[in-house]
Amino acid sequence: MPFLDHRVVAEAMTLPMPLKYAGRFEAALLNAIDPVLAAQPSAYGHDFTGPPSLAHRRTEWLTRIRPVWLRRHSYALRRRLGPMGDEHGGAMSADYMRRVIDLDFPAMRSFFNPDAITDSAVWRRVANLEYLAARLGSRVVG
């Protein structure tokens, strides 16, 4: 939790604003630490060895200029426009996931209704929690 450390926050405040846009600082940091890892493709549409792509900068800019009242409704609007894509392809299919977690979600069913989740990103997060609960010995299961 880096934002709980006042020294990290104080240093972050000294960064020029342009470095804070579109993950430029994080990309430069990752590239300095591990250039091989930084060169891998990312879900953002670019690797982290250079500046963010024009498409990523555009998306980031559109997010910043969106009115606050609209931000509250953005997720619901995107869902109404149609199914939200899964950038992970078949790796998250039920056949694959069945080998990793119990698809009945015994731990997370207490908190979520997995059958009602239609957004693959949300489903992936709940599946992650299910995996952790099973592996770390959750007191919720049972």
For residue 138, pLDDT beyond 90: no
Residue 122: the pLDDT is: 83
For residue 123, pLDDT beyond 80: yes
Please give the single-letter amino acid code of residue 109: R
Chain segment 2-52, per-residue pLDDT in tens: 567 788 788 888 988 888 877 888 888 899 999 999 999 887 777 899 888
Calpha distance 88→97 (Å, rounded)? 12
Q: Give every CB contact of residue 46 below 8 A, 6+ residues apart in sequence.
A: 52, 53, 56
pTM of the model: 0.50
Look at residue 102 and give its three-state secondary structure. Answer: coil
Q: Give every CB contact of residue 40 below 8 A, 6+ residues apart in sequence.
A: 47
